[in-house]
Amino acid sequence: MLKKLFSALAVVFCLAAPVSAQENIKKLPDPQTSGGVPLMEAVQKRHTAREFSAEKIDDQTLSDILYVAWGISHDGKRTIPTSMNKQNLAVYAVMPDGAWLYDAAGNRLIQVTAEDLRPLFDSQDYMKDARLTLVFTGSDPKNSPLHAGSAYQNVGLYAASRGLNNVVRGWFDRDGVAKALNLKPEEVIISQTIGWPYK
Ligand SMILES: Cc1cc2nc3c(=O)[nH]c(=O)nc-3n(C[C@H](O)[C@H](O)[C@H](O)COP(=O)(O)O)c2cc1C
């Protein structure tokens, strides 16, 4: 009798499971934490390049980009320093198949929306084919923008090391992005588009 009751409760519990149990998750390959060009060469090569082909960014490269931006590298801490280790930053990947929140601890992406948000970033025509835009967000008005700056610099250096193009972008539909990501407009700090040049 008790067993039947538990089974019934289990069914009810499963039916009432929060939406998060049905989250769309994209597991990423482990980031490559060695290799690349020497640091001084990457610093020398880092530059803004506003040209993005439609060539896909493979999952390994995506994982590496997210890791340099906001991965966990030591003692639960990040690849960038954060004020009092409060880690007040979030990184979203906007791609053709929707917008995804980077979960560094799980090395995965959690889909926030399946909508293609790239039109919110196409105020400049070089964006039309771009497949990956990172959005840096945070709720600490003093420190989150500083963290975003560290993250986009790491990504810029990685891009230089890999021959990827990138541009940091403050000019996009901030309100539209905030709405789509369910954030306050002031939490949306900056974006960065990354992609392969045309061949
Ligand atoms: C905070 C910030 C916002 C930027 N916003 C834009 C932008 O909206 N559109 C754009 O084309 N470039 C943007 N840039 C790129 C700068 O124009 C570029 O970094 C600058 O011209 C220096 O060139 P470099 O990156 O090659 O050194 C931005 C850069 C930063 C740091």
pLDDT in tens, the chain (199 residues): 444 444 444 333 333 333 454 679 999 999 999 999 999 999 999 999 999 999 999 999 999 999 999 999 999 999 999 999 999 999 999 999 999 999 999 999 999 999 999 999 998 888 889 999 999 999 999 999 999 999 999 999 999 999 999 999 999 999 999 999 999 999 999 999 999 999 9
DSSP annotation of 196? P
Are residues 44 and 36 in contact, defined by beta-carbon separation less than 8 angstroms?
no
DSSP annotation of 187? G
Return the best residue to mutate from 45, 169, 177, 194 for the ligand 1 pocket (most ligand atoms within 8 A of CB): 169
Task: Give me the domains of the chain, ranges plus CATH numbers.
Answer: 24-195 (3.40.109.10)
Residue 152 CA, closest ligand 1 atom number: 31
Using the mean position of ligand 1's atoms as its centre, give its distance from the Cα of residue 85 in Å: 28
- Name the closest-CA residue to atom 10, ligand 1: 169
Using the mean position of ligand 1's atoms as its centre, give its distance from the Cα of residue 168 in Å: 5
Q: What is the CA radius of gyration of the chain?
A: 19
Say if ligand 1 is within 6 A of residue 168 CB.
Answer: yes
Which residues are paired to 25 by β-bridges?
A: 110
Which pTM does this prediction carry? 0.90
- Taken in order 155, 160, 166, 168, the sign of the CA dihedral is positive
Q: How far apart are CA 159 and CA 162, in angstroms?
A: 5
Element (H, E) at 190: strand 188-195
Using the mean position of ligand 1's atoms as its centre, give its distance from the Cα of residue 146 in Å: 16
